[in-house]
Chains A and B, each alone.
Chain A
């Protein structure tokens, strides 16, 4: 536990990737495999369900600290992070447990789940007394499922690969599914991650997908495309679908569907099971899952369906899905990622034709003589329900993550929607921003200027500001706070922001009747007065 707490502190203390990489390698070199197994799990985003309800945890921590609940609350307000607050308030321990991360999780923490409060009240203080402050904070983060640290999965992959002297793509592939809820980290599993590459590795793969190749944003004006990209003829152009990126893996007579979050989602899309008979073994297809009724349907429909615990017949009828396939990563059991985009596409079309299932469609290719021509076609994006275009180098290979060295995918998105909205609530952030008001709720007017009107909240956003701007907003929030509800403050409306978002849909769950996708702050409109902000009518116009 102590070693992992030290690693956490080191990773937290620096913004340099090299320093983080060194810290990770240092940790993995000395960590026993059972502990390293859990460390990889947490560092690459794994999160077991919450072990103790937060309310209960707070009450017990307050009690053990011997302070009044209001003083706990004041402290929490000042710190901004629950686990840290608790770790700073509990009696200081003079003794630190030598037990490793695995023992702590498997023998001490995971068994807490579902215990009655009386039992927890006995066990928790006894566990806390075994840890120094940094380990204690970490322990509580693990208990509440709020462990987060600024490392990417790619960095963890690189650290493991460097230590084990492996190709990092191989490690990335082995890591896929590692953080799945059904996977319990074990020493054996960890040793497999870093084991020397075996000749029959391919055969052991089971349902493992490949690491997804990710696209980069292209924001330059179209006039520069010729200079930047060359001729459109060198590019494979497709729509950018607004769905769930997924890999369909067919091997050993079975089918697996993985989302880009590397979550196994096979069970959520029963209609795709038809592909078991259509696709030959040793096939992996990359594409987008969308709701499809002769044409792509709004993402909101797909989102509603994903939110359901059980898929009723009605849901399956109302929101049937299909895969819009755009890449072939494995064919006849061979890794095709080192074939060119054009070759992969040609082969993909044959596979789809032979499969002949209505749930597997090719993502259509778009053609244009010039970039200008394509730009004109792109203007139909909104009408067609797509986010813009994808440009893929025809001679490019299929890379890993955001690499650009073997080929590149550009996402050429249409400009986001935008409205001017008023900041009405502010909430303290997490981690680095824990002591700053960094998460905001925005509102627009419910009527046109001059009418008797109120502000209705419609979106939350926390990204898009510079640190400097955020500090300024924070100061204004503190000065104009009207009321506090836990970490949330309501403020006297005074700040107007230009909010950008990708999509908009009707929603019964929101007071405004509208839900927007991926809202973010584009600009702080310090030149605008609250009265100048947009009204609901502006948003409703965007719906059509």
Chain B
């Protein structure tokens, strides 16, 4: 029997009568992480990993009916044993392990295999069936170690200071922004964050994660000399807005896994592209799948067809799951 099936409302566990990351309002939802395409408003009950509570409440509302569970702790519901395990994607992100009558399924949500210090690192969980994402499911996607990327950002920032320019770095405001703040060299200059980023910084700080001091970009007037030294962290939607004009002469950059391709870099029209993703690259996906020991793999959002075919050629029983999850590397969805 399948422990999880695809329904119009979302991924559904018939034995437990609940949904994982539903995209339409349901009675019982289990949430892997707080990105807008995975955690939506309108569900009656929410269950999530404990470290994600602060973010979930700040994004979906303080008063949602939310129950949390520490990583690794088990909960039995209608005979289905459920537990959360770190996915290494963003603060509070979890894989959902389901066990029923000796069958084990794991739904990954979104995951990244390189530890980054802003959330619990990815832990492979043994299972019979693994539900994996495939955002970067092509062999052209291979990430450099993040230390190299942060060094690149530091160097770009210093270079801009030398040229008297502000440094505007666009990235997804939840997760990517905090990971960058955590990883860069904060002694280079002042750091400003956009209004969409600042509340999330606070949640991370409250969770005990090191985020350097950030100033609110909205407090600065055009021509403030401090801007010439500053690194400004902003969501992609701020590009081309009137908000951005206050920085006068600036250099801009975009941090995303998609920056790996010259074409997407050029279409973004920014001065620099930093290849930094909160998702697994191709070797990461294959490694994670192998670590689960699963014989059956269900592939969701991304390069579904490619990953399914590749896994089948490797002798696994793979198939695609149609979902409505989006792409949190590119646009702000919440």
Contacts and interface: CB of A to CB of B under 8 A. Distances in A.
The reply to whether chain A is a binding partner of chain B is yes
Interface in B258-310: 260-267, 269, 271-272, 303, 306, 309-310
Nearest to A19: B271
Nearest to B144: A92
A476 interface: no
B224 interface: no
B139 interface: yes
With a 10 A CB-CB cut-off, give which of B138, B263, B310, B313 has the most chain A CB atoms.
Answer: B263
B140 A88 contact: yes
Contacts of A98: none
Given A13-B272, A78-B140, A89-B140, A435 B260 contact: no
B271 A74 contact: no
A88 B306 contact: no
A433 B262 CA distance: 10
Contacts of A14: 271
Nearest to B313: A68
B140 A435 contact: no
A79 interface: yes
B149 to A, nearest CB: 14
Contacts of B313: 68
Interface in B134-153: 138-140, 142
A80 B306 contact: no
Interface in A425-439: 431-436
B260 A13 contact: no
A435 B309 contact: no
A65 B264 CA distance: 23
Interface string A42-71: 000000000000000000000001011011
Contacts, number: 55
Chain B interface size, under 10 / 10 to 19 / 20 to 34 / 35 or more: 20 to 34
A84 B272 contact: no
Given A12-B262, A84-B261, A75 B138 contact: yes
A262 interface: no
B139 A81 contact: no
Contacts of B139: 65, 67, 71, 75, 88-89
Given A71-B310, A79-B261, A92 B142 contact: yes
Contacts of A67: 139
A535 interface: no
A465 to B, nearest CB: 15
Contacts of A15: 269
Nearest to B264: A435
Contacts of A433: 263
A85 interface: yes
Contacts of A80: 263
A85 B140 contact: yes
A79 B272 contact: no
A432 B266 contact: yes
Given A13-B271, A67-B139, A92-B142, A81 B263 contact: yes
Contacts of B272: 13
A506 to B, nearest CB: 39
Interface of B: 138-140, 142, 260-267, 269, 271-272, 303, 306, 309-310, 313
7 contacts: A13-B272, A71-B310, A75-B140, A88-B261, A432-B267, A435-B261, A436-B267
Lowest 5 A-B CB distances belong to which pairs?
A: A435-B263, A88-B140, A434-B263, A432-B266, A75-B140
Given A71-B139, A434-B262, 14 more contacts: A14-B271, A15-B269, A70-B309, A74-B303, A74-B306, A78-B261, A79-B140, A88-B140, A89-B139, A89-B140, A92-B142, A432-B267, A435-B263, A436-B267
